[in-house]
Structure 1
Amino acid sequence: MPVPIGYEWLKEHFQLSVVPHSVRSFTGGLLGTRADQIKRHEILEQNLPDSARPEETLAGHLLFALEHEGANPAYLRQVFLQTGAKDQIQSTIQKRPSGRWSRRLWFWYEYLTETLLPLPDCKAVKYESVLDEERYFTAHPINIRRYCLRNNLPGHGRFLPLVQKTDALRKESDASLEQCLHSALADYDEEVFARASRFLTTYETRTSSEIESENITPDKYIRFGRALEMAGQTPLTKERLIEIQNIIKDGHQQEPDYRVEQNYIGGPGPQGVALPPPRPENIEDLMDDWFTMVERLADSDVPASVRAGILSASFVYLHPFIDGNGRISRYLIQDVLAKSGILKSGIILPVSGGILNRQKDYYQTLDLLSRAICAQTDYYIDEAGHITIEGETDHLFRYLDLTHYCQWLCEVIGDVAAHLLPKEIDTLVLADRLYRALDDLLDLSAKELRLMVKIILDNEGKLSKRKRKQFEFLTEHDFKQIDLVAAEVLKINTRQ
């Protein structure tokens, strides 16, 4: 019979309301004393020999968890608030004040509770990092003499999302993404870039709205496009987020501040709730802490694609506005990439197009944490469809493990940079050539020519008989010439 240790023991023993940790450890499993591992639903389960079992105390399992299962501030903070935890932790530290894991436990307790233990600073020993830099993405370290530790956390005590360095994420770097973009765009001249800039902005605006299954008015098209073009050029502030939200929504839906109502993501009825975001009275505080985390991350060497994942995902889960949160989260991706200097001036990376191509995966990826948060939330929905959250839930959003989402987004960004971006620019170049060729052949207005080009490109180079009805004033000879011109332009493009 497997018996939990570490974080799982702490969770069961103290009935913690937390999102499950990425590692669960047990002893006494079916494989006896042989260690074994298996991954289920993105959680690594490991069976360890009985000799690995720690002392059956709060402090014993805390030290085991920190050493063998990694950091989880959500678990740690809740355990630290348990009756008797302070005295037991203090006693444990006093026994080995210079121990590697004692010092880390000491740091985490004072950092997360903002309470100093009545202990003198530890004696001078070799400085070590709070987070294992081989395991986690970290920020620039700050030496703390009290524990002889380097605080390299990519956030702070009240908002600290973590991302683990999986094999795939270890390959991420600003240099590799910049090289990928350079290779993809090397063959295009400045004139093409000028056209591509406007085209990609329009494309990103359209696909971001399509993800939300919402039609966008021409006016919002223009305004959101202008906002995208400003990504990376203005500080990220509360006022800026509200400005973006009000660009996205029509006048009667605009919000002057964060939401004051409880909303949720999902369909109607209790069974349709996919994510109940934090209560509105907690949003101002959570967002203040979110912005502090953003500043800490900005001054770090965490790759831009990973930072984009952290900001966009954490924002979506907080859901600070009634509506428009998804599109703002995708604006944040552009903002991070632009500020990193990876993108050429004026070029938008059409990430929303890449997400739209994997829309099912997008929602499934977000749903992994949504379900876990939902499972820890007590709520009810009244007959009018309004949701009410029972109890405090803001702690569920402060310390999320965003590894899975960041890995997925980095795959999308890489695919967009290597394939979708040059493909869309090639389509633009091809459309320009076809437009000019048809303009030389036919006496049509610009609007009619653009429509014809779109129809031909959407139909693999053909103007179908059904679509010809939109140009009834043309002759059969005209249509034959159009087919010849389209075939020649497409043949030229294929050869290139």
Structure 2
Amino acid sequence: MQNDQNHQFSGPVRIFHELRLPEAAQPAGYAALIDAYDLAVPLPLTLCAIGQKHQVFEAEGWRLYTPRHAPKATLQGHLTFALKYEGLDLTVLKKLFEKLPAREFETMIKAQPSSAYMRRVWFLYEWLLDKPLDLPNAKSGTYAKVVDPKLQWAIEGKTSTRHRVHNNLPGDRAFCPMVRRTKKIDQFVAAEFDAEARAIIGKISNSILARTAAFLLLKDSKSSYAIEGEAPPHDRIQRWGKAIGEAGRHPLDEDEFLRLQRLVLGKDPRFVQLGWRTEGGFVGEHEMDTRLPLPEHISAKPEDLTDLMGGLIAFDQEFADGLDPVIAAAILAFGFVYIHPFEDGNGRVHRYLIHHILSARGYNPPGMVFPVSAAILDQIETYRRVLESHSARILPYIEWRTTAHMNVEVTNQTVDLYRYFDATPHAEFLFACVQRTITHDLPQEAAFLTKYDQFKSRIEAHTEMPASTVDLLFNFLKQNNGKLSNRARQKEFAALTDEEVRAFEVIYGEIFDG
């Protein structure tokens, strides 16, 4: 194995791993480490380099720092730069720790034992590899936070006296996605959408509120199936809606996941294996002529599922409470869908997990479910791009072959690609969905039901008719821009007089078009 001094860190470049830079610049931090040590890992969503300008700027997926930010062209220099300006990329760090001999890190840490950055590197090495370095316990140095909370979201955590650091990682070794601090997420958190939702429902009558909650629950259930391109019988939609309404009441464990999969698949899952997959899996199509797989996302290997799902369950039970509920929901739900542990039913359980976290943390008003799936359905292309923000990046690092059943079998080690992803785009997207449900869906549905009650009351005061007939009348008027069509007047409402029809059209217009 080569020593650090023999590795060549790149000078200024215009193209880096097929990516263009905004200007000629020298890769720094994780970009430099990936390049110098030939690490087979997905590139970070934002790469860093040292440019020529005297102010920091971002463009085209790069953040360019000034010449005064340039690190020393050494392992320690670029590691320190990464921790200081980029935060933790656990996939890159683990691959780096695995590739270099332990003595390089021992020598580096011994040279500066009181350095907060070196003690963080030391802790991360032992935490990620579950293997100690040949170093005595730290004797000096102020306790440093493993995760810089100015750069990434973290929990309170606990101290490690051996390294004199505070372990505030939002997960354990088996599952620990990270979310970066961004201006957008900070603004979303500060908006306190949960408090806004409670303020909105405080102005709604109990009867309207109960019906609003029921409608939004049904809307979410329908939308979750629609996202999968399915139109199941109404009883399955209602059954899944009931499950969503009870989200957050049961702790997550393997039995709970199996219960959810049974609910998704219905009463007759004869053609689907229940529980964790025992074969590979992928999301995508098959080539039309050969039936060869054309994967857009490849699921975690079946032999890794017990460990990954154990980490995901531990995240829910031990770490989620330390994060903002929406951020925790994004980590849990999208982490699950990337792992894809089931043969079928992953998508709906993935969206259920959003409700699980929000409800368990009391983010939803009591008895109310935010129709997040409806917001996702209305932004389905954005949702797909968010999913691809990780799945497309890891695909080149997954080696696979086609099985006899035209499935995929992964042939290399891939477990870390599902443990340590950057969930920042997922958190931003989920916040936007929650915002939409609170500022649009909730008040809009409550306002509609209030108007409908006014319409029903005025119709019944004018002409006595059953509630079902009033509902049919409303739907005909709505479909025809407030006018009762000739067909409806000749069939379903042939008994109405012209005067009644005109009166009903006026009532509809005053309430819904006024």
Q: Give the TM-score normalised by structure 1.
A: 0.89
C-alpha offsets along residues 238-296 of structure 1, whole Å, 9 cap, x if unaligned? 22222122111131355431122322112323784221111122112211111112223
Shift of 1:474: 2.6
CA 15–186 in structure 1, closer or farther in 2 if over 3 Å, else same:
same
Q: CA deviation at 1:184?
A: 2.6
Deviations 1:155-185 (A, max 9, x none): 1122111111111111233871122113332
1:14 pairs with 29, 37, 55, which one?
37
- Which stretch of the first structure deviates more once superposed, 436-445 or 262-271? 436-445
1:355 to partner: Cα distance: 1.4
The partner residue of 1:68 within 82, 85, 96 is 85
In the alignment, which residue of structure 2 is the partner of 1:136? Answer: 152
Structure 2: which amino acid aligns with 1:38?
E
SS state at 2:93 partner? helix
Q: 2:282 aligns with which of 264, 267, 277?
A: 264
Counterparts of 1:3-152 in structure 2, within 5 Å, are 3-27=26-50, 31=52, 37-40=57-60, 43-46=61-64, 48-49=66-67, 52-56=70-74, 58-84=75-101, 86-152=102-168
Residues 1:278 and 2:304 are matched in the alignment = no
Match of 2:206 in 1: 190
> What is the CA–CA distance in structure 2 between the aligned matches of 1:263 and 1:418, rounded to whole Å?
38
The answer as to whether partners of 1:54 and 1:64 remain within 8 angstroms in 2 is no
Q: Relative to 1, partners in 2 of residues 1:473 and 1:417: Cα closer, same or farther, differing over 3 Å? A: closer
2:351 corresponds to:
330
8 Å Cα contact 1:135/1:164 also seen in 2: yes
Opposite residue 41 of structure 2, the aligned amino acid is V
Who is 2:176 aligned against?
160
Deviations 1:441-480 (A, max 9, x none): 66766555444433433544334345x28x7153274576
Does structure 2 retain, via aligned residues, the 8 Å contact 1:173–1:304?
no
The residue number in structure 2 matching 1:177 is 193
Helix, strand or coil for the counterpart of 1:172? helix
Partner of 2:241: 225
Q: How many residues align?
A: 485
Structure 1 counterpart of 2:302, one-letter code: P
Matched, 1:364 2:385: yes
- 2:21 aligns with none
Q: Give secondary structure in 2 for the equivalent of 1:81.
A: helix
Q: 1:428 to 1:322 in 2, by over 3 A?
A: farther
Residue 453 of structure 1 corresponds to which residue in structure 2? Answer: 474
**Match of residue 367, structure 2, among 330, 334, 346:** 346
Question: In structure 1, the residue corresponding to 2:342 is in which secondary structure?
Answer: coil
In the alignment, residue 311 of structure 1 is paired with which amino acid?
Answer: L
The answer to whether residue 400 in structure 2 is matched with residue 379 in structure 1 is yes
SS at match of 2:192: helix
Q: What are the equivalent positions in structure 2 for 1:245-260 lying under 5 Å apart?
A: 245-250=261-266, 251-252=268-269, 253=271, 255-260=273-278
Distance in 1 of aligned mates of 2:497 and 2:314:
63
Asked if the contact 2:261/2:274 (under 8 Å) is kept, the reply is no
Indicate conservation of the 8 Å contact 2:29/2:78, yes or no: yes
Instruction: Name structure 2 gaps, 5 residues minimum.
Output: 1-11, 14-25
Shift, 1:427, TM fit: 2.3
Give 1:428 deviation, angstroms. 2.9
Contact 1:434 1:486 (C-alpha < 8 Å) held by counterparts: no
Kept in 2, the 8 Å contact 1:365–1:404? The answer is yes
Comparing 160-169 with 258-267, which one deviates more in the overlay?
258-267
Q: CA RMSD in A?
A: 2.7
Give the SS at the match of 1:308: helix
The Cα offsets for residues 289-336 of structure 1, whole Å up to 9 and x where unpaired, read as 111122233331x22122111111111111111222221122111121
Contact 1:5 1:61 in 2 (8 A): yes
User: Could you tell me whether the CA contact under 8 Å between 2:279 and 2:409 is conserved in 1?
Assistant: no
- Contact kept, 8 Å, 2:44 with 2:89, in 1: the verdict is yes
Q: Which position in structure 2 is the counterpart of 1:313?
A: 334
Kindly indicate whether residue 507 of structure 2 is the aligned counterpart of residue 484 of structure 1: no
Identity %: 26
Measure how far apart 1:102 and its partner are. Answer: 0.8
Comparing 122-131 with 103-112, which one deviates more in the overlay? 122-131
Letter in 1 for 2:252: L
How far 1:35 moved relative to its partner? 6.1
Whether contact under 8 Å (1:438, 1:482) holds in the other structure is no
> Which one of 294, 310, 317 corresponds to residue 288 of structure 1?
310
State whether structure 2 residue 251 is matched by structure 1 residue 235: yes
Paired residue type of 2:339: L
1:352-406: CA deviations, max 9, x gaps? 1111221111111211211101122223446864223231211111101110111
TM norm structure 2: 0.86
State how far apart, in whole Å, the 1-side matches of 2:370 and 2:69 are: 52
Q: Classify 1:463/1:281 alpha carbon distance in 2 versus 1 (closer, same or farther; 3 Å).
A: farther
Which residue, 425, 443, 447 being the options, matches 1:404? Answer: 425
Counterparts in 2 of 1:191 and 1:254: CA distance versus 1, 3 Å: farther
Instruction: Name which of structure 1's ranges 248-257 and 347-356 shifts more when overlaid on structure 2.
Output: 248-257
CA distance in 1, matches of 2:217, 2:146: 41
Closer, same or farther in 2 for the Cα pair 1:349/1:483, shift >3 Å?
farther
Is the Cα contact below 8 Å between 1:430 and 1:489 reproduced in 2?
no
Distance 1:360 1:482 in 2: 43
Shift of 1:349: 0.9
Amino acid at match of 2:400: Y
Is residue 194–residue 365 contact of structure 2 (8 Å, CA) maintained in 1? no
> In structure 2, what is the Cα distance between the partners aligned to 1:206 and 1:111?
43
Give the distance between the partners of 1:328 and 1:479, measured in 2 at CA. Answer: 52
Q: How far 1:153 moved relative to its partner? A: 0.9
Q: Distance in 2 between matches of 1:465 and 1:383?
A: 60
Paired AA for residue 433 in structure 2: V
Q: 1:416 matched to which residue of 2? A: 437
What is the Cα deviation at residue 46 of structure 1? 2.1
